[in-house]
Structure 1
Amino acid sequence: MMNQARRFSVAPMMDWTDRHCRYLHRQLSARALLYTEMVTSAALVHGDAERLLARDASEHPVAVQLGGSDPAELAKAVSICDRFGYDEINLNIGCPSDRVQSGKFGACLMAEPQLVAECLSAMQGATDTPVTVKCRIGIDDQDTEADLNRFIDAVVPTGIAALYVHARKAWLKGLSPKENREIPPLDYERVYRLKQRLGDFPVAINGGIATLEAASAHLVHVDGVMLGRAAYHEPMLLAGVDRVIFGDEGEQPTLSDIETAMSEYAERERGKGTRLNQITRHMLGLATGLPGARRFRQILSVEACKPGAGPEIIAAAFAALARQEQLAG
């Protein structure tokens, strides 16, 4: 069975799902599984692990995603991750960027299932934390169900805890990462068939899911759903996750709740030297669809960049939003 937290997760997104973003998302959902940005095993082994893996205690349940293709290095990286108390460690076999390909990790590894299996075995040998995989349904010309099954049949027997499957193939030659999010067609049915083939083994689906209604429809066929850009650009969507996806009762967090939580967080972080705009850049979508959203974004993006900016900027943005709502009402 799928770990309950994996029933709904927010995808790892480079330059977006940092610790400030995750803190915001946790204020909106107590149950969703949150993810770090992808961190390379080399960066962890040879770099500043504290900077890369630091997190707030409130983030649980939270997973770290690793990128790499050297089994020994990945095992070392996993040991480092364990010092920071993450609930899950995920291996990225889905990113199509040129930088990732040149480092021989990400989606290009779908062409090397045995190497991936060696990596996963080494990772699991270094930890008791659940290890999972995020992959595509195919790459380039390796785009048949047989290709996907061949890959899955190599990695599942290593003992991984779950699969997250992005329901698009990746074109590694000729398409940019942005184009890879939009041009190859989504094939949800292939993921559904994979789930049927694997029986009780946990499978979550990712790619193009924009609403909780769509997420609920997918959950008829698979064990979990993962949202990326929709959750980031419209974070208030996450306020309904605990009720709609997990069946929890109780009040949903409101914008007023978020203003209070993020103002207090910004004050604490200011004492650590964090610039306000490092926090507020993740909050720009909170007012999506509301009167005054443009002014709200302007205050949070422009004023928060000024030297000495503090929580009063967050208060000003929400006050401007409230005024516009009153006028519209």
Structure 2
Amino acid sequence: MGSARLIDGKAFAAGVVERVRDAADRLREACGLTPGLAVVIVGDDPASRLYVRNKGLRAQEAGFASFTHVLPADTDQATLDNLIAELNIDPAVHGILVQLPLPAHLDTTAVLSAIDPDKDVDGFHVVNAGRLAVGLPGLVPCTPLGCLMLLQAELGSLSGAEAVIVGRSNIVGKPMAQLLLGADCTVTVAHSRTRDLPGVCRRADILVAAVGRPEMIRGDWIKSGATVIDVGINRVPHSDPVLAAAGKTRVVGDVAFAEAIEVAGAITPVPGGVGPMTIACLLANTYSAACRRAGIVPDRI
């Protein structure tokens, strides 16, 4: 085992959920308002259903009203659009989340655009992306927000740090860059086509891996003492040949953890790092959305 500190996202997320629950209790006592989260899933993918179930359970644990809408895989665009329109005007619903990916015949961009931006607790609506880009208050994508919270808890001020993000998705890479810019970092967004990607990564005081390729970031790509946030969740064959032959798998990140831990100053494990923060931040966003809908300034979580 190397010298890197492990950033315990599971424990940190539990603290966030506890603070959200306390804030939601105060909101309910003050004005009788209970935050409500509606989750929509189309199809019967087992992993998505499990994830949606966990979101519902966490919402209930936080004292929220939880609404789950499970639609068949052959649901047409109009039916899904009508459901979102109903949720947009439902006063009991303050946050709407549509589980991705959707079946191929549905227009994901149109679906996400149909959600009321003030109920878009995933932070994917173009209005919320624009608010983030220009520094206005809005709902921020949950995974990057969770990463920022972990970084600030680990490092304190991020001002002046050189940050490299490997990955340019609308879900993680781009909003992560905006958040780090807002924290006064010097930010580089790299990706699989970046020339001399290892050299770019070695400049980073903060390295965020969100490229979706198992163990792509090697230990010798990491600056000594850097803080590494591994967003990747990749299922690969089990390292035990017997178990692999039986079809067993294991979960790894985008960073070669065993190598990175020998070099980094601090690192998130996979699992148990960024993953738990995503649901915690979803609850925090739902609480904030409920407060704003009622014209109340949300407590700082």
The alignment's TM-score, normalised by the length of structure 1, stands at 0.28
Highest relative contact order (Cα 8 Å, sep 6+), 1 or 2?
A: 2
Using structure 2 for the length normalisation, give the TM-score: 0.30
